[in-house]
């Protein structure tokens, strides 16, 4: 029996017994309050995604980035009104090639500054350092944990080039204010959209306000390809550059099946490409950028194409789950607050942020939830300047609100698989919480 027949039979047998991957959320058994866990996130897959991946593996021409990734890039662009997108192997890689491409495309110099929140995920900030740019930090507001827009103007200097915003758990600050700040000061609006896929401001995609946007497809995010990320823009040249950085720094911009064209997309593949070499050179091996290899596998593109079809459902279900859980937490636990969205925002929530009045409450509530199988997470790094890799950048004590995050803030999930059984279970767990005096 051939491998293909063998796998086809395996899939058939497994499919008859139960959903292929019962662990995956959309396909798993009903929630059992006696033993199921309330995972904060995870893939929202049915059997379609593994099938697409296996089919791609068995029938694809090229295991690495190929036709499926290219189709996913195009479908992603169409859905979000981008001119172009390039898929990479993670959201961190997306941020890295996005910043590298922006620096080159817009002529930023070493030492130029980018304004960013002091609270968030490390690989929002690290690509700035890796590109010899200077992150200039802004403290957060405790209203919604986003950076405090009223503090930004004071941080702008003649070397400021951009504002890099990463909406907290998908929830945008006032994008009109940010767009206005960028316009008045001639700054580039850059969006780390890893947590905010699908969120809107004034009924437009958040990315409509930005010059460049990144996205992550790690399983904690709205859609997942296992690992994966995307850089998108309305500027095609920027995406060509980002692709070059992700593809070893090469000059050739053939993608998908164009990779197989004898003359290439440029119709000039074999030509005199190098200034100091007279011979004919294959464009595929001309290097114009100091690049990386951050390409995804083609089967990740195949999975992404299936996931895109579920995006609207995922947004709607995450919004319902966030509202239900926010109401339960605030009704059951005195001393907590769950930030909401601004009137012009429509947030596709990444999680349910919970702000506690003090550290005793946070510590005991997190312990209570975790010991009852309700997963929790910190809001990532808290103040990034507390961490050894970043501490040299600035004095952490200048950011008092940021320093409250580890003490008082955490989040729980709002996964699209949550149903009434999950909400009832979380309500029951919350109802049994008793705050003890601090030790
Ligand atoms: C805001 C933000 N940016 C970047 C990343 C990095 O994405 P990845 O895990 O795909 O590298 C994350 C990860 O969760 C994130 O939350």
Distance 74 CA to ligand 1 centre (A): 22
99-109: b or e for each residue (b if 16 or more CB lie within 10 Å)?
bbbbbbbeebe
Q: What is the pLDDT of residue 259?
A: 77
Query: Is pLDDT above 60 for 22?
Result: no
Round to whole Å and give the CA distance between 338 and 330. Answer: 7
Asked if 221 is an active-site residue, the reply is yes
Distance 320 CA to ligand 1 centre (A): 24
Q: What is the pLDDT of residue 21?
A: 55
Distance 123 CA to ligand 1 centre (A): 7
Q: How far is CA 225 from CA 132, 231, 298, 375, in A?
A: 31, 15, 11, 22
Round to whole Å and give the CA distance between 141 and 117. Answer: 10
Q: What is the pLDDT of residue 159?
A: 98
Q: Which atom of ligand 1 is nearest to the CA of 228?
A: 10
Q: Which atom of ligand 1 is nearest to the CA of 92?
A: 11
Q: What is the pLDDT of residue 11?
A: 65
Distance 121 CA to ligand 1 centre (A): 6
Q: Which atom of ligand 1 is nearest to the CA of 221?
A: 14
pLDDT band at 246 (very low <50, low <70, confident <90, very high): very high
Q: Which of 127, 169, 170, 194 to mutate to test the pocket of ligand 1 (most atoms within 8 A of CB)?
A: 194
The more confidently predicted of residues 11 and 395 is: 395
Distance 350 CA to ligand 1 centre (A): 11
What percent of the chain stands above pLDDT 90? 86
Q: What is the pLDDT of residue 274?
A: 96
- Write down the catalytic residue from 105, 221, 222, 283: 221
The more confidently predicted of residues 11 and 432 is: 432
Residues lining ligand 1, CB < 6 A? 90-92, 95, 120-121, 123-124, 166, 192, 194-195, 216, 218, 220, 229
* Average pLDDT score over residue span 136-140: 98
Query: Is pLDDT above 90 for 204?
Result: yes
What percent of the chain stands above pLDDT 70? 94
Q: How far is CA 308 from CA 172, 233, 234, in A?
A: 22, 18, 20
398-433: b or e for each residue (b if 16 or more CB lie within 10 Å)?
ebebbbbbbebbbbbbbbbbbeeebbebbbebbeeb
Render pLDDT for 58-117 as a digit per residue (tens, 0 to 9): 888 779 999 999 999 999 999 999 999 999 999 999 999 999 999 999 999 999 999 999
Q: Which domains does the chain have, with CATH numbers?
A: 54-260+286-308 (3.40.640.10), 311-429 (3.90.1150.10)
Render pLDDT for 411-431 as a digit per residue (tens, 0 to 9): 999 999 999 999 999 999 999
Query: Is pLDDT above 80 for 263?
Result: yes
Distance 229 CA to ligand 1 centre (A): 9
Q: Which atom of ligand 1 is nearest to the CA of 166?
A: 1
Q: Which of 40, 116, 195, 381 to mutate to test the pocket of ligand 1 (most atoms within 8 A of CB)?
A: 195
Query: Is pLDDT above 90 for 9?
Result: no
Tell me, rounded to whole angstroms, the distance of Cα 150 from its chain centroid.
26
Among 378, 383, 408, 404, residue whose Cα is nearest residue 394 = 383
Number of neighbours of residue 337 by Cβ within 10 angstroms: 17
Q: Which of 91, 97, 167, 192 to mutate to test the pocket of ligand 1 (most atoms within 8 A of CB)?
A: 91
pLDDT band at 15 (very low <50, low <70, confident <90, very high): low
Query: Is pLDDT above 60 for 23?
Result: no
Query: Is pLDDT above 80 for 386?
Result: yes
Query: Is pLDDT above 60 for 213?
Result: yes
Render pLDDT for 149-180 as a digit per residue (tens, 0 to 9): 999 999 999 999 999 999 999 999 999 999 99
Contact 299, 45 (CB under 8 A): no
Query: Is pLDDT above 80 for 299?
Result: yes
How much is the mean pLDDT over the chain? 94
Question: Pseudo-torsion of CA 428, 429, 432, 434, nearest 10°?
Answer: -150
The more confidently predicted of residues 27 and 184 is: 184
Q: Which atom of ligand 1 is nearest to the CA of 90?
A: 10
Query: Is pLDDT above 80 for 334?
Result: yes
Beta strand pairing call for 160-165 and 113-117: parallel
- Would you mind telling me the total number of residues written for the chain in this entry? 439
């Amino acid at each position: 029996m051939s491998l293909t027949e063998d796998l086809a039979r395996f899939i058939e047998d497994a499919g008859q017994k139960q959903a292929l991957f019962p662990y995956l959320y959309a396909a798993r058994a009903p929630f059992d309050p006696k033993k199921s866990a309330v995972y904060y996130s995870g893939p929202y897959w049915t059997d379609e995604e593994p099938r697409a991946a296996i089919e791609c593996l068995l029938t694809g021409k090229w295991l690495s980035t190929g036709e499926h990734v290219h189709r996913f890039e195009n479908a992603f662009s169409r859905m979000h009104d981008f001119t172009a997108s390039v898929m990479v192997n993670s959201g961190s890689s997306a941020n890295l090639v996005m910043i590298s491409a922006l620096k080159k495309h817009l002529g930023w110099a070493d030492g130029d500054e980018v304004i960013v929140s002091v609270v968030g995920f490390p690989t929002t900030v690290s690509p700035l350092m890796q590109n010899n740019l200077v992150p200039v930090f802004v403290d957060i507001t405790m209203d919604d944990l986003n950076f405090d827009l009223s503090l930004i103007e004071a941080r702008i200097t003649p070397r400021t080039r951009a504002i890099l915003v990463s909406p907290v758990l998908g929830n945008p600050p006032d994008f009109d204010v940010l767009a206005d700040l960028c316009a008045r000061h001639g700054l580039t609006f850059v969006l780390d959209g890893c947590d905010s896929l699908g969120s809107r401001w004034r009924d437009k995609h958040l990315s409509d306000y930005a010059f460049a946007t990144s996205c992550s497809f790690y399983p904690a995010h709205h859609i997942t390809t296992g690992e994966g990320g995307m850089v998108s823009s309305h500027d095609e040249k920027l995406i060509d550059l980002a692709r070059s950085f992700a593809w070893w720094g090469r000059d050739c911009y053939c993608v998908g099946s164009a990779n197989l064209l004898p003359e290439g997309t440029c119709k000039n593949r074999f030509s005199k490409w190098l200034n100091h070499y007279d011979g004919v050179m294959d464009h595929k091996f001309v290097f114009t950028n100091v690049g990386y290899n951050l390409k995804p596998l083609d089967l990740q593109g195949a999975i992404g194409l299936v996931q895109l079809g579920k995006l609207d459902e995922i947004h709607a279900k995450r919004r319902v789950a966030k509202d239900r859980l926010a109401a339960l937490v605030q009704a059951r636990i005195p001393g907590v607050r769950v930030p909401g969205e601004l009137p012009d925002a429509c947030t596709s929530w990444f999680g349910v942020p919970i702000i506690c009045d003090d550290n005793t409450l946070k510590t005991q509530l997190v312990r209570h939830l975790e010991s009852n199988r309700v997963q929790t997470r910190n809001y990532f790094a808290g103040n990034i300047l507390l961490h050894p890799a970043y501490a040299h950048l600035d004095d952490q004590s200048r950011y008092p609100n940021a320093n409250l995050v580890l003490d008082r803030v955490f989040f729980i999930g709002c996964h699209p698989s949550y149903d009434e059984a999950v909400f009832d279970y979380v309500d029951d767990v919350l109802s049994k919480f008793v705050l003890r005096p601090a030790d």
